[in-house]
Amino acid sequence: MNSPLKPAVACLTVLVAGVFGMQGLYAQDNPDSAASPQLTADRGARSLRIEGDATALHVVVQQTTLADVLSALETLNIRCRSSIGLDEVLNGTYAGSLGHVVARLLKGYNYATKQDGSRLEVTIVGKGGEFADSAPVDIPIRRRSSN
């Protein structure tokens, strides 16, 4: 992680921990079913709301960086590593399974995912188009003469 991002991620972590300490559960249509967790963090024009679980997730972001969103999703058993800064500001609503939401959040990035049991591991290596396609390389083959 880039050095300038560390304070931002640390600040978001404290914010997320505080929100989870005071979070409430919302009512469902069926009172007998367990309520899904909800995370809401508002900071001026920036906001992030996560509802549901890894199978049925609903994420609403407004003026929030991709790094902050991925950090907040770590509560759903996701681990993200990146070799680039993730300071792109997002606005929108994302719904579906955790894998589907992550794929939509990372549209335009070069990344790989690995499902390790219930944990989703994501490795981000760059933005799309950052790496030029290399031209094919011809490698001459020399054959030894047989004597």
Task: Check residue 93 and give its pLDDT.
Answer: 96
Other beta carbons less than 10 A from residue 65's beta carbon: 21
Higher pLDDT, 119 or 133: 119
Pick from 16-20, 103-107, 139-143 the range whose average pLDDT is largest.
103-107
Read off the pTM: 0.61
Q: Which residues contact 36 (CB under 8 A, 6 or more apart)?
A: 25, 26, 28, 51, 52, 53, 56
Mean of the per-residue pLDDT values for the chain?
A: 75
pLDDT in tens, 48-77: 999 999 899 999 999 999 999 999 999 999
pLDDT in tens, 84-115: 999 999 999 999 999 999 999 999 999 999 98
- 62: Cα within 13 Å, side-chain hemisphere: 9
What are the extents of the domains in the chain? 5-22+39-78+85-107
Report, as an integer, the average pLDDT of 26-44. Answer: 48
pLDDT band with cut points at 50, 70 and 90 for residue 22: very low
Task: Check residue 144 and give its pLDDT.
Answer: 75
